[in-house]
Amino acid sequence: MKNAHIRVLVVLAILSLVGIIGTQVFWLNRAIAQQDQVFNHNVQVALRNVVESLCEASGKDFPSVNPIEQISGNYFIVRTNDRIDLKNLEYLISAEIKKRAITQDFEYGVYDCANDQMVYAENVNLEYDDDREPIPVLKNDEYYFGVYFPDKSKDLFAGFDLWKFTTAISLVVIIFFGYALFVILRQKRLSEIQKDFINNVSHELKTPLATLSLASSTLSERSGDREQKYIGIIQKEVTRLKKNVEDILHSAMIESSMKVKKEKVDLIEFFNALIRDIKEEYSSKMIDWSINLSATEKIDSNSKLLENVIRNLLDNAVKYGARKIHLEVVQKEKTTSISITDDGMGIPRKHQNKIFRKFYRVPESNHQHNQKGFGLGLHIVSTLVKKLGGKISLSSELEKGSTFKIVLPNG
């Protein structure tokens, strides 16, 4: 994926997460504000009823100016400017608050209007009637009282536990997303550095290998029988190194954003020509080949990539001791299955789900072989099959052989 596409996806993901959090916070604040308004309204209604009851008891009219004033979010004062019966006041406040379904404990205090000093204060627990000192009798004629709810903010937030939980979960998701994004971008950068390094090293190796190959060929023409042995070793190792370098370059190339150009492929003609070449290449190995082609229709594919896939699988079968190789092609309405079965060494079960990974090789202690390489062959096969729009699977048993099955779309 290109860097520009990654940036767009990252920005969209961040905006989405910020939008979710912003929406949750907005609605949470709005719900709390509405809850606060309802609470304030209920308290004011309750205190108004208290004032009406006090006025009725004293035989006075309700004040023409609203006697209730909210000083802060949780503190209300009521300007009665009249004599107050403390025992009756506490009862009225508690009763009216309970009627409004307010369950918060409160504190109330009575102030002397003449000197604006508190003359009595008490904490009221709505659930329990605590033992307390006798309530005094107020003698003056002008008092006002205040009501304070110390736990209002805490109780307002307590009703939104689900909101707080989902908001906390969203924040955790953002944190993990940020960390995952950091790791992904870091891995992508390391992958790019690795790919550039492999490409540079591979290209740098091709020139000296070509020089060594040319020099060994020239020496071979001018040397005697004694030197031919050592020149042959040089040529063999140069050939092996060239193949490894080509594998690395090929792996880097197919992992790029290369688009596959497809054409109509006649499978009968394709496999007959390929098997003929393979038989000639391995004529000295005395391999028993069997082929079953049940393909009548051409498929949309890429003959060069498909040849690379089949050659890699057949090379692996020969490399790991196969003496019998069976190739079968079965065509259905929408798919074509290609199976390559050998009687080679097989692959232990615990390694089968890792065999298509890049640079992965079965440990020699578990799978006795002396074959060298970088573990790119099957990775290249798997990548090419995916680029052709197909799937590859493996069925293998140690010391009994393996079957690689490729399923490709016909169109």
Instruction: Summarize pLDDT for 103-138 with one digit per residue, the tens.
Output: 888 898 888 877 778 888 888 887 765 555 556 666
CA 360, distance to chain mean position in Å, is 25
Name the residue range of residue 320's domain. Answer: 263-409
pLDDT above 90 for 407: yes
pLDDT above 70 for 248: no
Same domain, 57 and 200: no
Say how many domains are in the chain: 3
The predicted structure's pLDDT at residue 188: 77
**Residue among 57, 13, 38 nearest 100 (CA):** 38
Query: Do 90 and 136 form a contact (C-beta atoms < 8 A)?
Result: no
pLDDT above 60 for 190: yes
Give the integer Cα–Cα distance in Å for 290 and 328: 8
Give the integer Cα–Cα distance in Å for 158 and 155: 5
Give the integer Cα–Cα distance in Å for 260 and 389: 10
Same domain, 17 and 153: yes
Please work out, in degrees rounded to the nearest 5, the angle formed at the alpha carbon of residue 383 by the alpha carbons of 403 and 269. 65
Same domain, 208 and 347: no
Same domain, 141 and 225: no
Domain end position, chosen among 92, 124, 158: 158
Domain end position, chosen among 207, 223, 254: 254
Token couple for 352 = 């089968």
Task: For the chain, give the mean pLDDT.
Answer: 81
The predicted structure's pLDDT at residue 367: 46
Count other C-beta atoms under 10 Å from residue 406's C-beta. Answer: 23
CATH number of the domain that 222 lies in? 1.10.287
Q: Could you tell me the CA-to-CA distances from 299 to 178, 336, 367, 409 in Å, in that order?
A: 45, 8, 37, 8
Which of the residue ranges 90-99, 214-223, 307-316, 382-391 would you say has the lowest mean pLDDT?
214-223
What's the mean pLDDT in 350-367?
A: 76
Same domain, 191 and 134: no
CA 208, distance to chain mean position in Å, is 45
Confidence band of 370 (pLDDT split at 50, 70, 90) = low
Domain end position, chosen among 139, 158, 177: 158
Q: 158 CB contacts (<8 Å, ≥6 apart)? A: none
Which residue is it, tokens 């006649």?
A: 266
Same domain, 147 and 275: no
**Residue among 273, 278, 280, 351 nearest 316 (CA):** 278
Same domain, 101 and 187: no
Give the integer Cα–Cα distance in Å for 202 and 248: 7
State the maximum Cα–Cα separation within the chain, in Å, rounded to a whole number: 137
Give the integer Cα–Cα distance in Å for 55 and 380: 94
Check the CA dihedral 204-208-214-217 and report its sign: negative
The predicted structure's pLDDT at residue 328: 93
Give the integer Cα–Cα distance in Å for 384 and 378: 10
Q: Which residue has the higher pLDDT, 213 or 201?
A: 213
What's the mean pLDDT in 41-50?
A: 91
Same domain, 145 and 7: yes
Radius of gyration, alpha carbons of the chain: 43
- Residues pairing with 331 in the sheet: 336
Same domain, 295 and 221: no
Task: Provide the CB-side half-sphere exposure for 272 (13 A, CA).
Answer: 8
Q: For the chain, give the percent of residues with pLDDT over 70.
A: 86
Same domain, 180 and 120: no
Confidence band of 333 (pLDDT split at 50, 70, 90) = confident
Same domain, 309 and 383: yes
Same domain, 7 and 112: yes
